[in-house]
Structure 1
Amino acid sequence: MPAEHLTLTRFLSDERCTDHRCDEDVRTLVIDAALQCRTIAQRVAYGAIDGAPRALSAERPQRRAQGRHVLLFEPFDGAGADDGTGPAGSVFSLLRSTELVGAGYAVYGPATVLVVSLGAGVHGFTLDPQRGEFVLTHRGLRIPEAIREVTIDAAGRGSWEPAVRRYVDERVAGATATVRWSGSTAARTHRVLTRGGVAVAGRHVGEDAVAFLVEQAGGRVAHRPAATIIGNAAEVERIERYHRDGVVVPFASPLYGTRGLFRTATA
């Protein structure tokens, strides 16, 4: 069966997905998560018409057990998503006892994309609205090396750690990246997995699932006291190095200084 027609159900039953990471209980829980995502996608499609986004944002995280495994499902996340104007998604984790053995998320929009990892790579599936099934469209996702974006809340710049501020200023001044923001955990993660760069956000529900996915896609995760940093491994390491340096060297903007457009005053 061509990859573009390979359904999630068929993918999970494929001979390449038959080890302990993908036993019958795991497959059942992944399909359960996918069905919930499909239902949410259908409700989100109506937007503010019937108040579905607001109702979904009020739903509590769900827990379902199957054999030795547990599915933890966060139905709806995203600042601004409750009125249908912002990006939204769902995040889920699969646990065996206390061990995280799988994770995934869905991003809702013009197309609904479900991204899943069971510990052997990351794969993306797009909802075919006519068939009502998720089909494989992104096999073996790897975080791109290109640095095009830094996903961070620019309005909160005053609370950024010095190392993060230095990193963002360097990237923006060097015209190597633009600053973006999304209040949705799933949307931020998807942006990193498909576009590269880094994302910095406050500690949040689902961060373990996100870390699992990012590391499976070749990226790196740094947990700070007030924030989680995910993204391209080299870039996250760069920020961590700035943290380890302790004293952050002030960043010299090319617009200010002895040879800049605006000279700084000297004593």
Structure 2
Amino acid sequence: MAARTLREFLADPKGDGKPAPRELQVLIEAVSDSCRTISYLVSRGALADVLGSAGTGNVQGEEQKQLDVLANDEMMAMAKASGVVAAAASEEEEEARTITPGAPYLLMFDPLDGSSNIDVNVSIGTIFSILPAIAGEGAEPFLQPGRNQAAAGYCVYGPQTTLVITLGSGVAAFTMDPPTGQFVQTGSNIRIPEKTKEFAINMSNMRHWADPVRHYIDDCLLGELGPRGKNYNMRWIASMVADVHRVLSRGGVFMYPWDKREPNKPGKLRLMYEANPMSLLVEQAGGKSFDGREHILDILPTGLHQRVSVMLGSKEEVEVLERKHVGAA
């Protein structure tokens, strides 16, 4: 059987002969078009003079790279051109933008995750979340729990440009074919192994973590002589999209937990732009996600740029983290 293009997949995503909703197909194809454009800009890099700082900061107080700004502009223009996005919100902008009133979907995105890696040629990506449009003003329609997502995904720009999506019934992957620009399906019904010997966390922050996370890592570092009875490897790319892509590809657990340097913030990553879409993908692939208190997809957001602690990946490891947090409560 010939490999399916993204368009062919959307015409029958569950294999039951039923297409995805027409407007959702339009939006996901539009997102893939923007990812193709961003992939091209990333691949050109210094040749297109798009590396380095843009000389501006985003709403998070972070320095913006030139590619952050270009990717954000591309995603916003795509949302408008699609005709199916009522409003869009970006990690790079303080407020949501009204796009096409009355359209069926809301779009949220991190236009270029891992942008600190841009200038050193390490994998980066675009993360997106699609919610049903509901009544309300400003940010209000966006403040839905992650389980309400109609679709979510990311595109990682690495040795290959790979789009990974879920419409709420499994996870599929598509690799961009450079000569044609088509996204061709290269993975279906992706499953995260329940057991793993790999974790991803920034170990330089270990002294700042809460006890449950530190105790979990201590147990992992003891290897086969410790309570876990197996030797672990650590991986850390400092690009969530790349780290989670590895977890989806071969298992593991990704952690960006609360730490005591900013005790009044529940975490660093953004619930709406990063944690929710990645959690939906991970759970649809048989994994779990947790913020130290509850499942991430059950959190009721209170703001567009709400931060959250993130632990997600292989089911067995996340359940160990859950038990350690419950025991410390």
d(CA) in 1 for partners of 2:326 and 2:196?
22
Aligned to 1:200: 255
Structure showing greater Rg: 1
C-alpha deviation, 1:19, in angstroms: 5.1
Matches within 5 A, 1:226-265: 227-246=309-328
Q: Are 2:7 and 1:9 aligned? A: yes
Q: Bigger CA drift: 209-218 or 57-66?
A: 57-66
C-alpha deviation, 1:8, in angstroms: 0.5
Aligned to 1:250: none
Aligned to 2:30: 32
Give 1:224's aligned amino acid.
Answer: G
Q: Are 2:140 and 1:104 aligned? A: no
Specify the SS of the correspondent of 2:196: coil
C-alpha deviation, 1:146, in angstroms: 3.8
C-alpha deviation, 1:103, in angstroms: 0.1
Give 1:125's aligned amino acid.
Answer: F
Q: Are 2:238 and 1:183 aligned? A: yes
Change (3 A) 1:177 1:79: farther
Matches within 5 A, 1:26-65: 26-53=24-51, 54-58=65-69, 59-60=71-72, 62=75, 64=79
Aligned to 1:81: 117
Specify the SS of the correspondent of 2:150: strand
Q: Are 2:157 and 1:117 aligned? A: no
Q: Bigger CA drift: 226-235 or 60-69?
A: 60-69
Corresponding residue to 1:68 among 100, 104, 114? 104
TM-score (norm 2): 0.69
Aligned to 2:218: 169
Specify the SS of the correspondent of 1:230: strand
Q: Are 2:211 and 1:213 aligned? A: no
Change (3 A) 1:60 1:129: closer
d(CA) in 2 for partners of 1:43 and 1:234?
39
d(CA) in 2 for partners of 1:199 and 1:188?
7
d(CA) in 1 for partners of 2:275 and 2:130?
13
Q: How many residues align?
A: 244
Q: Percent of pairs identical after alignment?
A: 35
Q: Bigger CA drift: 7-16 or 232-241?
A: 7-16
C-alpha deviation, 1:183, in angstroms: 2.1
Change (3 A) 1:79 1:71: closer
Structure 2: 5+ residue runs without aligned partners?
52-64, 85-102, 134-143, 224-229, 257-267, 294-307
CA RMSD in angstroms, aligned pairs only: 2.2
Contact preservation (8 Å) 2:108, 2:129: yes
Contact preservation (8 Å) 1:57, 1:81: no
C-alpha deviation, 1:74, in angstroms: 2.2
Give 1:57's aligned amino acid.
Answer: D
d(CA) in 2 for partners of 1:227 and 1:198?
14
d(CA) in 1 for partners of 2:212 and 2:39?
38
d(CA) in 2 for partners of 1:199 and 1:48?
31
Specify the SS of the correspondent of 1:166: helix
